[in-house]
């Protein structure tokens, strides 16, 4: 909304019936969205394709893709991770929101992927781990990623789901539901 794709007041329609702002993006409905989502794990493969196309066309852009740690349960993520390393897709940066929760609960209970960072490293990625709530660390990680040659980079951002809002922190219930109007008021006060 702040980039002008839709009015700010439309944000309140998140996940409501007939809203352009659903839990999974639809590029035919939501302005500014380049890829429809729905099946988890497809974003990395899509990003690899864009990065490879850029390289083949002698373009100098970098491709950034955001993944959830729970999304990494999907085999397609690891197939993509292997392919990106094999083809030395060094203009690709994956950022993993590593908050430990997914729609069905704690990752360690649903599908334990530990040791998580070592998996990426073993697949041939340059791994940078940061506190995902620390902007200085994130900026430094993005700057480091620009210098990596010959392999893709993954930034594993350790976060707390719902950080700063007492009733949302580490609460799996807020994975897929929008807060009520009363909860929005409480959250805004807590975030001031």
Determine what percent of the chain falls in helix, strand and coil, rounding each to the nearest 5. 40, 15, 45
* Per-residue pLDDT, 38: 76
Q: What are phi and psi of 158, to 5 degrees?
A: -75, 120
Q: What is d(CA 73, CA 110) in angstroms, rounded to the nearest whole number?
A: 9
**Residues ≥6 apart with Cβ < 8 Å to 20:** 6, 10, 13, 26, 29, 30, 31
* Per-residue pLDDT, 36: 87
* Per-residue pLDDT, 37: 82
57 by DSSP, 3-state: which? coil
Q: What is d(CA 172, CA 164) in angstroms, rounded to the nearest whole number?
A: 15
pLDDT under 70: residue ranges of the chain: none
Q: In the chain, where does DSSP find H-type helix?
A: 42-56, 75-86, 107-110, 116-122, 135-147, 181-191
* Per-residue pLDDT, 110: 97
* Per-residue pLDDT, 153: 99
**Which domains, ranges and CATH numbers included, belong to the chain?**
1-38 (no CATH), 40-159 (3.40.50.970)
* Per-residue pLDDT, 14: 86
- Bridge-based pairing of strands 105-106 and 101-102 is antiparallel
**Residues ≥6 apart with Cβ < 8 Å to 79:** 45
């Amino acid at each position: 909304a702040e980039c002008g794709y839709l009015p700010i007041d439309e944000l309140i329609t998140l996940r409501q019936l007939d809203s352009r702002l659903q839990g999974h993006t639809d590029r035919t409905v939501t302005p500014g969205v380049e890829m429809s989502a729905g099946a988890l794990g497809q974003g990395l493969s899509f990003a690899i394709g864009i990065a490879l196309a850029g390289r083949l066309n002698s373009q100098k852009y970098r491709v950034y893709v955001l993944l959830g740690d729970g999304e990494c349960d999907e085999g397609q993520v690891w197939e993509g991770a292997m392919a990106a390393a094999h083809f030395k897709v060094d203009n690709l940066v994956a950022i993993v929101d590593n908050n430990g929760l997914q729609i069905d609960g704690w990752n360690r209970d649903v599908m334990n992927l530990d040791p998580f960072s070592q998996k990426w490293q073993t697949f041939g990625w340059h791994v940078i781990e940061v506190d995902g709530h620390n902007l200085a660390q994130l900026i430094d990680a993005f700057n480091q990623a620009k210098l990596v040659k010959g392999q893709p980079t993954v930034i594993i951002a350790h976060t707390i789901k719902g950080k700063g809002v007492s009733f949302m922190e580490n609460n799996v219930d807020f994975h897929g539901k929008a807060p009520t109007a009363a909860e929005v008021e409480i959250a805004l006060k807590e975030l001031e």
